[in-house]
Amino acid sequence: MSTKNPTGERTDKNTKGEEPRKHFIEEIIDRDRASGKHGGRVATRFPPEPNGYLHIGHAKSICLNFGLAAKYGGTCNLRFDDTNPSTEEMEYVESIQKDVSWLGFDWEDRRFFASDYFEKFFELAVDLVKKGLAYVDSSDMDAIRKKRGDYNTPGQKSPYRDRSVEENLDLLGRMRAGDLEEGTAVLRAKIDMESPNMNLRDPIMYRIRKASHHRTGDKWCIYPMYDFAHGYEDAIEGITHSICTLEFENHRPLYDWFLDNVAPLASRPQQIEFARLNLTYTVMSKRKLLELVQGGDVSGWDDPRMPTISGMRRRGYTPKAIRDFCDRIGVAKRDSMVDVALLEHAVREDLNETSPRVMAVIDPLKLVIENYPEGEEEWFDAAYFPDAPGRGTRKVPFSREIYIERDDFREDAPRKWHRFAPGQEVRLRYACLVKCERVVKNDKGEVVELRCTWDPKSRGGTSPDGRKVKGTSHWVSARHALKAEVRQYDRLFDKENPLAGEGDYKGHLNKDSLGVIEGAVVEPSLAQVKAGDRVQFERIGYYCVDSEDSAPGHLVFNRTVTLKDSWARIERNLEKDTSASGSGKRGQNRPKAKAEGNAEENAAEESGDQITIGTFAKVDLRVGIIRSAELVEKADKLLKLMVDIGEGRLRQVFAGIRSAYPEPASLVGEKVIVVANLKPRQMRFGLSEGMVLAGGGGTERLCVASFDGELEPGDKVS
């Protein structure tokens, strides 16, 4: 394992075969290297605080920092910012190391702790005191907060601000020796109590904490604040580019102040901020995640519904899928909300390539083949990857009694129902054709068994006389079935932004986020599966063997992700209902799509349906620049656009505007308006990640909504 990871080498090309546009951090590094800054060296770090488990937001930072180091032939340190002993534990240190390694990255011999530098930090603090740039404040915390002021009111100087250097050194020594109690004194930097930047109003450098540290024990009873330690850690380790999330942007002047007012250290790092990852249907505050754990809303940090890396690993997400997702969302300067459907899409893409197909029945209904000899059995060949039989096969047993999915039967079948119903013939996957002859019910009138006949000449699933059988069902032989517990996981929250609006975010917990099914059955080839093995249950979804509770004789499978995004489908239907109720009959006064037209093209052309004022208020409109445009082969209406909306990557958008732009190159460079928060949609031609607004009507030619001006990609349009 090394930092030379797939995420470090950008191999994706745009539609013209060119290298993708670099994000702003890469541009900064390129300029630094060209000027000879740091001797052309690149050194980054990933600096988690060991007070919780890492989540998907941390994965973005991990991929960015280790990826940049790999791309530029540099180094990336793993550093634990362990400056708060009351919240930090070795359990978290170990889990963080496991997560970073699992994602595919290696810090080699560069694992550091802030606690490695406690003595050095204290020396630097003493130096600042001697220079008259720091003082011990004996005010209580309430007084300090009140005198700090706010954004409209300048701060007031502490009555202890002008203590002599000698008195400050004496008090600081007594703080370290444990002579002073918690809350009676802090060490503050002496900067500017009237600064418009609140972080520069004499920030606290050290506070007293008489708590045992997970590494240093009781050696220290004063601990540095993160803002004080952060820059010094970077400088001591020789970091060149200190990459932080956007909430630290206002802390940068303080970062620089601390570095500028001590003797030069190993390097002079530059702090650079990028937008943190915000994901729909998710909370990623470690404090709130801890509340969910401690409140029993989830089973632990590794609950498969949690956005933690350990939870995603247990659920069945792959390192590659997470890395691909982080690469796909790009690096931006502006905060935005990423649709969780894009993460699920990345997971499906990888699992589709790597997960062997097997058969399982979640809700079994017994089917008896009356003309199959009792006591006999036969075994059929079944491919693990039907589209690539060379990747392996297994034998699946077949017998007189089998289980099918209860949902595959309808006693009163609707029109175009092709699965089991009285008198209907169905193909059993890999096996044969069977016909439902009659239904057996219990005293309550519930269907408990189907009685069927089979065509012995249809072994393998083909009819000897060429008759067409449209329906195919999966199944498991009753005699050979293995019992399994199946955990049907879904999103933890039922609201797109659980933190928005009034009320407790826990009020938006999805009551259907976990369904446990005890009576599922699976084919016998799964008898030897190991914890963490991933499979696709044919026609159902992707599943992973649970790493905690599964054992031989008690198989437990966690649903990783469905085969299709049921939530997106439900929401599309709701949007259609809203559109219909808000503007009259849906589709009124609009030309109907030709029957022979491609449904995806029509959907791309008319994907918005009719948008009401209420719906329009919910969309996120962003400035975009079209970087490339091309025709879509075998699609008469579509253009494929690669659009820059300031995310450090290009979004792929399919737009039904080909008739208006027969020469797509004319669109390149146009500033357009992009609906940035639509659900990513998998089309036959690829993934479409938004909508470019276009208009026209009557005799007017359809054209994209474009404009000139000073707005930059990613700027919000209102």
Residue 276 annotated to the active site: yes
Which one of 60, 147, 163, 286 is the catalytic residue? 286
Alpha carbon distance 262, 268 (integer Å): 11
Residue 49 annotated to the active site: yes
SS3 content of the chain, % helix, strand, coil (to 5): 30, 25, 45
Alpha carbon distance 41, 51 (integer Å): 31
What are 415's two structure tokens?
């029109």
Nearest to residue 320, comparing CAs of 103, 632, 143, 497?
103
Alpha carbon distance 718, 709 (integer Å): 15
Nearest to residue 622, comparing CAs of 709, 691, 704?
691
What are 64's two structure tokens?
């960015």
Count Cα neighbours of 671 within 13 Å in the Cβ-side half-sphere: 15
Which one of 276, 334, 366, 435 is the catalytic residue? 276
Alpha carbon distance 153, 149 (integer Å): 5
> What is the number of helices (H) and of strands (E) in the chain?
15, 36
What are 364's two structure tokens?
């079994």
Residue 376 annotated to the active site: no
- What DSSP string runs through 355-385? PPEE-EESSEEEEEETTSPTT-EEEEEEESS
**CB of 576 within 8 A of CB of 560?**
no
Q: Report which DSSP code applies to 667.
A: G
Q: Are strands 278-279 and 270-274 parallel, antiparallel or unpaired?
A: unpaired
H-helix or E-strand containing 500? none
Nearest to residue 680, comparing CAs of 211, 337, 331, 168?
337
Contacts of 347 (CB under 8 A, 6+ apart): 316, 317, 318, 321, 325, 542, 560, 561
Classified as helix, coil or strand, 522 is strand
Geometric angle at alpha carbon 258, from 114 and 126, rounded to 5°:
75
Q: How far is CA 92 from the centre of its chain?
A: 21
Taking phi first (over 0 means left), then psi (-120 to 50 degrees means alpha), and beta for anything else, what does residue 200 get? alpha
What are 124's two structure tokens?
């630097």
What are 87's two structure tokens?
């919240």
Which one of 4, 21, 26, 49 is the catalytic residue? 49
Helical pair 165-177 and 118-130, crossing angle rounded to 10 deg: 160
Which residues are tagged catalytic?
49, 276, 286
